[in-house]
Structure 1
Amino acid sequence: MKNKMLSQVSAVIVTSVLLLGCASSDKVDETTGTTISETQTMEGDAAEAGRSAEINYNEMFEELGNTRQFDIMALANSNQNLTTFVTLTEKAEITDVLKSKGPFTVFIPTNAAFQHLSKNELDELLAPENKVKLIKVLQAHILPNKVYVTEFRDAQRIKTADNKVINVQVSPDKTVTIGGAKIVKPNVEVSNGVVHIVDDVITAIAIGG
């Protein structure tokens, strides 16, 4: 059953994004279905983000040496600034997808990036009945192929299967912004693709909206 679910989720991710153009013992909060430990983790992430608002992106993953020896989830788990992303992927039960062969391109928001969402928005994403919504939010951060920043073009669009688009902007200094999220640490090679660290949560918009 678990393998069937994994295949279904993987298929959703792989078919849901198209480049247009070039490219336990825990107690449960009965109101949200979120365990107390999850809530504490999220609050801890926010507090940590507040204490370390300035991240040295140049030194991110430096202690790992060759990042190609790690898969996407192993890389995310290695850095304290990415724990909110890890928590949400676990809640969505897509960690096995991001450990699989790929290749994928994944835009990982920092903990500070997730602070741009309100507490109510985060609580809503963590609620069990909103698992499909959470998966859709996360799949906007996943491409089913390997894309480096140099392959993005200004005014390019990424189309999702639910009839939404993610706008791409490339500034004159070659800074790439995806769905309102700026790539702050590009082209981190991993065993199953490439990771770009972003400073916001990617937003998809309805076509024509």
Structure 2
Amino acid sequence: MRKFLSALVIMVVSSSVFAGHHKMGDHKDIVDTAASNPMFSTLVAAVKAGGLVDTLKGDGPFTVFAPTDEAFAALPAGTLDMLLKPENKDTLVQILTYHVVAGKVKAEDVVTLSSATTVEGSDVSVTAAMGKVKINNANVIKADVMAENGVIHVIDAVLLPAEVAAAL
């Protein structure tokens, strides 16, 4: 257990994706924190298209598993364009809320979890081994990016609820 915790701390401390940015004193909410980093431009566009900006600027706290632009680019060709169309807003909201957990779940809390219930209503699996954390099949590449109303964990894949994945 100590080795795991040490490895997790090393992973969190050594990641330089947000080096020196977005500490608790910055007073930015989750949306502003994501919008201030170009690696989340697709996520921010999707949150806007889904009408979730006001929700994610709310009091929270929220835990957001935030896919990078590269993660969105790895979706099958045409999927993102299809999801951003107004007629597919419900599916987009379902996907986005599958990336959000109510409450603030920091890296140190993950050792007690094997799953977490998302705002969408389904569970995501949480696995931690050898200093690496996965949410379903997505790797956490940066943990504990603190925002005024919660925490962001950067992931390298888009999480899809089972019924959405089956439809794609």
TM (normalized to structure 1)? 0.64
CA deviations over 1:111-165 (Å, ceiling 9, x no partner): 0111110232112211111111100100111111110122124871234577743
The 1:172/1:88 distance shift into structure 2, 3 A limit, reads: same
Question: 2:160 maps to which residue?
Answer: 203
C-alpha displacement at 1:172, in angstroms? 2.5
Question: Where has structure 1 moved over 6 Å in runs of 4 or more?
Answer: none
Question: 1:110 maps to which residue?
Answer: 68
CA deviations over 1:12-45 (Å, ceiling 9, x no partner): xxxxxxxxxxxxxxxxxxxxxxxxxxxxxxxxxx
The 1:131/1:158 distance shift into structure 2, 3 A limit, reads: same
The 1:61/1:159 distance shift into structure 2, 3 A limit, reads: same
Question: Between Structure 1 and Structure 2, how many residues are aligned?
Answer: 151
Q: CA RMSD in A?
A: 2.5
Q: Is the 8 A contact 2:66 2:152 kept in 1?
A: yes
Structure number with the bigger relative contact order (C-alpha 8 A, sep ≥ 6) is 2
- Please tell me whether residue 84 in structure 1 is matched to residue 23 in structure 2: no
Distance of 1:145 and 1:183 partners within structure 2: 18
Q: Is the 8 A contact 1:165 1:205 kept in 2?
A: no
Question: 1:75 maps to which residue?
Answer: 33
Stretches of structure 2 lacking an aligned partner (at least 5 in a row): 1-13
Distance of 2:109 and 2:83 partners within structure 1: 31
Letter in 2 for 1:119: A
Query: What is the DSSP-based 3-state SS (H/G/I as helix, E as strand, rest coil) of the residue aligned with 1:82?
Result: helix
Distance of 1:163 and 1:73 partners within structure 2: 21
Distance of 2:153 and 2:35 partners within structure 1: 15
Question: 1:96 maps to which residue?
Answer: 54
Largest Rg, 1 or 2: 1
Question: 1:122 maps to which residue?
Answer: 80
Question: Percent of pairs identical after alignment?
Answer: 31
